Every structure is written in C-alpha cells, then in structure tokens.
Amino acid sequence: MKHPVIIIGSPRSGTNILRDVLTSVPGYATWPCDEINLIWRHGNRAYASDEFTPDMATPEIGRFVGKHFARIARTYDVPTVVEKTCANSLRVGFIDAVVPTARYLFIHRDGMDVAASAMQRWHAPFDFGYTKAKVKFVPPSDLPYYGTRFVANRLKVRGHDADGGQQTNAWWGPKLDGQAELQATHTMDELCALQWQRCVDNSERDFAQIDPSRVHRLTYEEFVQTPAEHLGAILDFLGTPQDVDPAWVADVKASSVGKGRASLGEARVARLTELVRPSLERYGYA
C-alpha cells in the first residue's frame, strides 16, 4: 500500500466531493460509508471532544488504524487508500502521529457558506441509512458504549431562544473543547461559524509542524470552478500523474459558491464575520 491520503477540511467545505472525485480514479479507494470517526476514536472513545493531541496516539492505536487502512487496500485491490473524516481537521497532529506516512489534501471554503450549510445539517432529520453504513465500521469492543450514547443523544431536544436564533442541546459535526459553554452562550449560527473557525485554525496550527511537501492545499471555490485542473494537480502531488477523464469530475458543480453567504443576509453575515474575522481574513473571505 502506498502512502495513505487523508483529506482534511471542516464540515461542508467540499471534503465529500473531493473524496468522491479522487476515488473515481483507478487505484484509489475508500470506505463504503461517509466517515470513520469511531475508528479514529478507538482508544480515546470517552474523550469529550474530537480535539485529540499527538500524545494520545499510542502504538496500539497506530496498529489498529493501520490494520483498517490495509483492509480497505486488500478489499478493493488498490495501492492507495483515501480517508475523509471532518473531525480530523481538529486533530491533524494526532492523525499524523497515528499515520506518519500520510499525504494530506487540505481544502477550505468561505466560512459563511460553511456556516449556512452546516445549519441545514443541524436541522436535518435522522438518516438511518447513513448511520447504518457507519455502524459497520464501529470497533466491536466499542459498540456497547456508542449504542448507549446514541440512544441518549436521540433523546436530546432542540429549542429556540427569544429572538429566534436556534440553540440546541444536541451537537452536529466535530466536537469542540468547551462545547457545553459554547452551546450555553451562542446561537446556532454562531456555533456553526465557531466550529468552522476551530477546524481551520487547528488544522493550520498542526500543518505548521508537518513537512509542506506532504500537504496539498486547495480552496473549494477554485476546485469546483476547474475540477479537472485541480484533480490533475492532486494526482501529480500524489505521484500518479495522468490525464483526467472528464467522467471523474462530471458531478462537480459550482452552483453553491456564495449561496450560503447570500442566504444569511447582510446583518447576520456582519455579526458572524466579527465573531471569526481573523480566520476569514487569512483566506481572503473578509
């Protein structure tokens, strides 16, 4: 098996379409489910957030995760396994300690578009099929633990504060340090913006400690405009240069760029921008 490829990005930033495009290329494959967060959490399952530190990456965890990567390579008879779990954007240092030979694709997107899209996911109904696919890859020894937590989480309710900004007792997406305090002091749109910020800030912090030659960066906005060009650059980076088949990028659309920001309205964008301005400015989004 060649170097594993790990896609890093906040939720709603294009990680799914990037994974799907790359795994349409012969020689690349991934898990038959959306994410494998519970594999990454094995050995640290009771930790409150997804913000793992490198010292939490024990040799046993490294062997455990490596076994799962090797299994996908054997199952699909491919040299390169691609993995995408959005929570990994909070713990790149930990991931690198677990899979030290990994190559990274780091994709980011306008935080306002991300926040608007994430808000829709908080409201989305329970998807049994999505959950069932992920359950297949829960470590057997962890099933009782997560089964109990799943039932408890499904019983949590959502409500609205007085000015209509939705607050919630449940949580969607990567879990942050200080999550309870954030939920007590911020509305849902603010939580989504702060979640995006923590994901990209943590990623930048950890990538600063990793050899840049192992990291390929791209923006969602540019990727969806010229996907064939960007896929070609990615394949060059991964050491498998080849002509891009138009069919590999046929499902990539640019129609969502700016749509979330527009849906928020000027007043809400202004409020959220002030909340996460430094991170927006880093990427030219403010």
Per-residue b/e over 261-271, b at no fewer than 16 CB within 10 Å?
A: beebeeebbeb
pTM of the model: 0.89
> Any idea which residue has 């607050």 for tokens?
167
Q: Decide: helix, strand or coil at residue 107.
A: strand
- Report residue 87: phi and psi, to 5°: -60, -20
Distance CA 267, CA 259 (A): 16
Tens of each residue's pLDDT in the chain, 286 residues: 789 999 999 999 999 999 999 999 999 999 999 999 999 999 999 999 999 999 999 999 999 999 999 999 999 999 999 999 999 999 999 999 999 999 999 999 999 999 999 999 887 666 556 566 556 667 677 666 656 566 555 555 444 443 335 545 567 899 999 999 999 999 999 999 999 999 999 999 999 999 999 999 999 999 999 999 999 999 999 999 999 999 999 999 999 999 999 999 999 999 999 999 999 999 999 9
Distance CA 114, CA 245 (A): 29
Domain range spanning residue 151?
5-282
Per residue in 32-44, pLDDT (tens digit) is 999 999 999 999 9
CB 190 within 8 A of CB 212: no
At 1 the pLDDT is: 78
CATH value at residue 48: 3.40.50.300
Give 229's strand partners.
none
Number of domain units in the chain? 1
User: Closest Cα to residue 199, out of 222, 221, 219, 177?
Assistant: 177
Q: Decide: helix, strand or coil at residue 218.
A: strand
